[in-house]
Amino acid sequence: MVRKLTLRQHDALIGLFLILPSLIIILGISLQPILSTLYFSLFEASRGINTPQTFIGLGNYVTLLTDAVFWAAIGRTLYFTLVSVGLELVLGLAIAQLIHTQPPGWRFLRTSLIIPWAVPTIVNGTMWRWIYNADYGALNGLLLQLGLINKYIPWLTKPELAMNLVILADIWHSVPFIALILQAALATLPADLEEAAAVDGANALQRFLLIRLPLLRPAILVALVIRTVEAFRVFDIIYVITNGGPAFSTVTISYLTYLETFSFGHIGRGSALSFLISLFTLVMAFVYIRILYRPEEKL
Amino acid sequence: MKNLKTPFALTIVLALLAGALGCQPAQQAGPATIRVLTMEQAGPTVEEMNAIVEEFNKANPNIKVEIEYVSYDALHDKITTAMASTPPAYDVFLVDDIWYAEFAKAGYILDVTDRITKDMRDKIFTASWDITTVGGKVYGMPWLLDEKYFYYNEELLSQAGFSAPPKTWEELVDQAKVIKEKGIVEYPIVWSWGQYEAAICDWVTLLYGNGGRLVDDSGKPVFNDETGVKTLTWMLQTIDEGITNPASVSYVEEDVRNVFSQGKAVFATNWVYMYDLVNFNAEQSQVTGKIKMSLMPAFANSGVQSATINGSMGFSVAATSPNKDAAWKYIEFLTSEDVQNRYSAHLLPIWQTSYQGESLNKLMGYTPANATTVPMFNEQFPFAHVRPKVAYYPEASKALQLALQLALTKQKTPQQALDEAAAKWVELAK
């Protein structure tokens, strides 16, 4: 008995040692910056060494919340988030269902799904910038060969189109993520419920809507929360494909934060923006959990 | 098993700790490391910059230079981020003309007034000292003395029946219409009018070529006057008439080079680096040997013979660098007359003496491109205009970029868009 206890204590000590680095990392990398961002957001501070800082309380927040540029960016961010995550969920679910039926070559399909997801966002953005290029891009080449257009279209110069093009690039990148999560969840669902329903005369749509979808809800929740938070903070793909253009039509809230902080050097206002993004994200996650997460279900 | 696991776990912990400690710069007795940040775009190639570093490292065993490259559009923000830490992530960085006021005010760049020798003062172009001087103090060494040039594809132009390039923008439109009618290319001219600093550069070229100005003598924005509106309207018109490649509204200089290199445009404006790549580099260009440069056109009846943008840059030492002397030594080497002459294919020297007497002949012979670019520089540089040296330039520029984009995508009239940008400039100056 005694020997076992020391072993357990020994294990606990090693366990502590092993989580120490992650504890340090979590406290140092996430908590400390969040607190200093909050602190900075209360100052009128411009960039520089030994530059003066003036405490202005919530002044930065007031400036932002009364600024049309801020709300326009919020609007674009919500549009990006809703459209891209919505389409990604529908497509991801469809692909997951397809793989679940195990058609010929489904293993290959499942493996090749990883590729778009594995491509770093910056590389993905660069790739799509080339695809959309007006003079030598693949999109114009494809549409021209199919006879859908009769001359090359300068896609990225159209303010009404640019955001949708960024969304398309994001969907290509992120659908696999949702498809893989949902496919894994589908594989764990008990088959007998659906079989019983089929015996009782439920058709395929009813079985899908009334049995499969409710059972998938926890997996959908996980995918949605992760993707929505990611989409709401979208930055790199926009930076690479459009640089916020044309005419600011792809300036999202993160892009605006980047401009204010790094390009214009308004450290205080940039910090306030970062903090607002965190708050928005928190609210969204909360709403999702209330809607989709029921106490009797476990994630 | 236990005996195996414990050392294993401890090794991981130690490795993590060692990794964390490794981030601290080691204060060893070895050579001082100088980290340099520069750009890979519109200037010397990476191979050339690496070769210069190698030469320097060989000649200076006590100093080890490490060099990093980013695109021009990432450079400003990378510098400001790097300066947030102590010691800064870079000891030396490339600074654009338009950032000197901002960086000097922020205290990022070292005042090197006392390090400038009389020899440097006398032999380097007076105009290039303006690049790195803020409020009478020198904050860096001028390095890249550049401006936008007018390029044309001689073969395609002669196919259209023209023996000489246009001298005015009106003449360019006339030639372009013939080129288009004959089906030689779909869009005769390509520009960099994307939502980047590049758009401001082309706008300044056209605005000053029409007798306009960005700001008046008191620093007040005047680009929204009649001339400014007329110039922007002209830009819009060339898109509508199919003379300007409509994709220009999303393009930067590298896109211009790609389109021009494929023979898809007869005219283009770009920095000096494009000439060598488009005319002599068969790997990257399908139009080698066919490209000529001529004086940048201006608008007829504007009283202006030619106008272009001065896009010069300098190298500066980070004010908080622990190795200021070594950093300065590298900058001195990089900008020395000898190094600049030898590496002049995509960048011309800042040294007046390189363009005089015997040196001029030598400079023109260093690379095949120099025979054209060196005389062209002498001809064009008197017409180069600088952008305002103000600490809030990045924000002012973004407002003007937005105005140009709003007008070029027809969401606002040129007058509306420019008025809004001018109002923003006034507000920023307060």
Chain A residue numbers touching B246 (CB-CB < 8 A): 134, 154, 157
Q: Which of residues 26-85 of B touch A (CB under 8 A)?
A: 73, 76-77, 80-81, 83
B87 has pLDDT over 70 = yes
Question: So what's the pLDDT on residue A299?
Answer: 44
**What domain count does chain A have?**
1
Structure tokens at B314: 């300098």
Chain A contacts in chain B segment 209-238 (CB below 8 A): none
Mean pLDDT of chain B: 91
Choose, out of B409, B411, B412, B425, the residue to mutate when testing the contact with A (most A CBs < 10 Å).
B409
- Choose from A17, A250, A264, A271 for mutation: most chain B CBs within 10 A: A264
Q: Dig out the tokens for B235 from the structure.
A: 């830009």
- Asked if residue B190 lies in contact with residue B248, where contact means CB atoms within 8 angstroms, the answer is yes
Annotate B389-428 with b (16+ C-beta within 10 A) or e (fewer): bbbbbbbbbbbbbbbbbbbbbebbebeebbbbbbebbeeb
pLDDT of residue B12: 45
- Across the interface, whether the CB atoms of B394 and A159 are under 8 A apart is answered no
Given an 8 Å threshold on Cβ–Cβ distance, is A135 in contact with B264? yes
Q: Which of A18, A154, A264 sits opposite B249 (nearest CB)?
A: A154
Give A42→chain B minimum CA distance, Å: 19
ipTM entry = 0.85
Structure confidence at residue A3 (pLDDT): 53
Q: Are A134 and B247 inside 8 Å of each other by CB?
A: yes
* Cα of A245 to nearest chain B Cα, Å: 5
Q: Which of B34, B10, B5 is nearest to B324 (CA)?
A: B34
Question: Which among A20, A157, A265 has the least Cβ separation from residue B247?
Answer: A157
How close A155 gets to chain B, by Cα (Å)?
8
CA distance B357 to B364: 11
Rounded Cα–Cα distance for residues A289 and A45 (Å): 37
Q: Has residue A32 got a pLDDT over 50?
A: yes
Residues listed for chain B: 430
C-beta atoms of A154 and B247 within 8 A? yes
- In this predicted structure, the answer to whether residue B258 has a pLDDT above a threshold of 70 is yes
Q: Which residues of B touch A151 (CB under 8 A)?
A: 186
Q: Which residue has the higher pLDDT, A293 or B55?
A: B55
Residue A53 CA to residue B106 CA, distance in Å, equals 13
In this structure, of A29-38, B56-65, B157-166, B296-305, the range with the lowest mean pLDDT score is A29-38
Task: Write down how long chain A is.
Answer: 299
Percent of chain B with pLDDT over 90: 80
Residues of B within 8 A of A265 (CB-CB) are 80, 102, 106, 394
B18: contact with A, CB 8 A cutoff: no
pLDDT at A2 over 70: no
Give residue A270's domain range: 60-292
Instruction: Put residue B107 in one of left, alpha, beta given phi > 0 → left and psi -120 to 50 → alpha.
Output: left
Count A/B contacts: CB-CB distance under 8 Å.
114
SS3 category, A266: strand
Q: Tell me what the mean pLDDT of segment A85-109 comes to.
A: 92
Whether residue A1 is predicted with pLDDT greater than 60 in this model: the reply is no
Q: Does A108 fall in a domain? A: yes
Distance (Å, whole) CA A171 – CA A156: 17
The stretch A3-10 carries a mean pLDDT of 72
Q: What per-residue string of b and e applies to B334-358 under the rule 16 or more CB within 10 Å gives b?
A: bbebebbbbbbbbbbbbbbbbbeee
CA angle A271, A272, A277 (to 5 degrees): 95
- Encode pLDDT of B262-283 as tens digits: 999 999 999 999 999 999 999 9
- The confidence score (pLDDT) of residue A227 equals 92
User: Rounded to whole angstroms, how far apart are CA atoms B425 and B430?
Assistant: 9
C-alpha B264: how far from its chain's center? 24
Q: Which of B2, B13, B17 sits opposite A18 (nearest CB)?
A: B13
What does the pLDDT look like over A248-291, one tens digit per residue?
999 999 999 999 998 998 999 999 999 999 888 888 878 877 87
Long-range contacts of A282-289 (CB under 8 A, 24+ apart): A284/A228, A284/A229, A284/A232, A285/A225, A285/A228, A285/A229, A288/A221, A288/A224, A288/A225, A288/A228, A289/A221, A289/A225
Mean pLDDT is highest, among A207-216, A272-281, B80-89, B243-252, for B243-252
As a whole number of angstroms, the distance between CA B377 and CA B189 comes to 22
Give A258→chain B minimum CA distance, Å: 9
Per-residue confidence (pLDDT) for residue A207, from 0 to 100 = 87
Q: How much is the pLDDT for B310?
A: 92
Give A-chain residues touching B430 at CB under 8 angstroms: none
Rounded to whole angstroms, the maximal C-alpha distance in chain A is 84
Q: What whole-number distance in Å separates Cα of residue B236 and Cα of residue A4?
A: 83
All residues of chain A having their beta carbon less than 8 Å from the beta carbon of residue B2 are 7, 10
Asked whether the beta carbons of residue A133 and residue B255 sit closer than 8 angstroms, the reply is yes
Instruction: Give tens-digit pLDDT for A98-128.
Output: 999 888 988 898 888 889 999 999 999 999 9
Tell me if A48 and B258 make a contact (CB, 8 A cut-off).
no
What's residue A5's pLDDT? 63
Q: Which residues contact A30 (CB under 8 A, 6 or more apart)?
A: none
Q: In this structure, is residue A148 part of a structural domain?
A: yes
B-chain CB neighbours of A242 within 8 Å are 195, 250
Place of tokens 């991801």: A92
pLDDT band at A296 (very low <50, low <70, confident <90, very high): low
CATH 3.40.190.10 location in chain B = 32-146+312-385, 149-309+392-429
- 3-state secondary structure string across chain B: CHHHHHHHHHHHHHHHHHHHHHCCCCCCCCCEEEEEEEECCCCCCHHHHHHHHHHHHHHCCCEEEEEEEECHHHHHHHHHHHCCCCCCCCCEEEEEHHHHHHHHHHCCECCCHHHCCHHHHHHECHHHHHHHEECCEECCEEEECCECEEEEEHHHHHHCCCCCCCCEHHHHHHHHHHHHHCCCCCCCEECCCCCCHHHHHHHHHHHHCCCCCCECCCCCECCCCHHHHHHHHHHHHHHHCCCECHHHHHCCHHHHHHHHHCCCCCEEEECCHHHHHHHHCCCCCCCCCCEEEECCCECCCCCCCCCEEECCEEEEEECCCCCHHHHHHHHHHHCCHHHHHHCCCCCCCCEHHHHCHHHHHHHHHCCCCHHHHHHHHHHHHHHEECCCCCCCHHHHHHHHHHHHHHHHCCCCCHHHHHHHHHHHHHHHHC
| Whether residue B246 has pLDDT greater than 90 | yes
Q: What is the pLDDT of residue A4?
A: 59
The reply to whether A31 falls in a domain is: no
B367 touches chain A (CB under 8 A): no
Taking 90 as the threshold, does the pLDDT of residue B210 lie above it?
A: yes
Task: Supply angle C-alpha A86, A90, A96, rounded to 5.
Answer: 140
Contact: B259, A135; criterion CB under 8 Å: yes
Chain A positions touching B16 (Cβ under 8 A) are 21
Residue A35 placed within a domain: no
Cβ atoms of B234 and B202 closer than 8 Å: no
Sheet holding B291-294, edge to edge: B189-190, B267-270, B149-153, B291-294
For B:284-323, CB contacts with A below 8 A are 319-320
Tell me which of B60-69, B82-91, B193-202, B405-414 is least confident: B82-91
Q: B188-224 burial string, b = 16+ CB within 10 Å, else e?
A: bbbbbbbbbbbbbbbbbbbbbbbbbbbbeeeeebbbb
State the Cα–Cα distance between residues B350 and B161, nearest whole angstrom: 39
**Looking at the predicted structure, is the pLDDT value of residue B247 above 90?**
yes
Of A43-52, B21-30, B108-117, B187-196, the one with minimum mean pLDDT is: B21-30
CATH code for residues B32-146+312-385: 3.40.190.10
Kindly state whether residue A179 falls inside one of the protein's structural domains. Answer: yes
Which class for A118: exposed (0-12), middle (13-18), buried (19 or more C-beta within 10 A)?
Answer: exposed
Q: What is the CATH number of the domain that holds A172?
A: 1.10.3720.10
pLDDT for the residue numbered B86: 85
Task: Please give the pLDDT value at position B25.
Answer: 45
The answer to whether the CB atoms of A135 and B195 lie below 8 A apart is: no
Predicted confidence (pLDDT) per residue in B218-227, tens digit: 999 999 999 9
Residue A34 lies in a domain: no
pLDDT of residue A293: 66
Question: What is the pLDDT confidence band of residue B11, given thresholds at 50, 70 and 90?
Answer: very low
Nearest to B252 by CA among A245, A80, A28: A245
Contact present, A253 and A73 (Cβ < 8 Å) = yes
Distance CA A130, CA A155 (A): 11
Question: Residue A46: closest CA among chain B residues belongs to which residue?
Answer: B106
Put simply, the answer to whether B402 touches A248 (Cβ < 8 Å) is yes
Q: Would residue A170 count as lying in a domain?
A: yes
Inform me whether the pLDDT recorded for B137 exceeds 90: yes
Query: Is some CB atom of chain A closer than 8 A to the CB atom of B200?
Result: no
pLDDT digits (tens, 9 = 90+) for A134-176: 998 999 999 999 999 988 999 999 999 999 999 999 999 999 9
Q: What 8-state DSSP symbol labels residue A148?
A: S
Q: Which of B3, B190, B195, B235 is the best mutation test for A, with the most CBs of A within 10 A?
A: B195
- What does CATH list as the number for B149-309+392-429? 3.40.190.10
CB contact under 8 A, B249 and A157: yes
* CA-closest candidate to residue B331, choices B146, B142, B109, B145: B142
DSSP result, A21-63: HHHHHIIIIIIHHHHHHHHHTTEEEBSSTT--EEE-TTHHHHH
Is B80 within 8 Å of A133 when comparing Cβ atoms?
A: no
Q: Do residue B409 and residue A246 have CB atoms under 8 angstroms apart?
A: yes
Average pLDDT over residues A180-209: 88
Chain B residues with CB-CB distance to A21 below 8 A: 13, 16-17, 20
In a domain, A86, yes or no: yes
For the ranges A270-279, B27-36, B196-205, B281-290, the lowest mean pLDDT is seen at B27-36
In terms of Cα–Cα distance, which of B152, B120, B125, B143 is closest to B43? Answer: B143
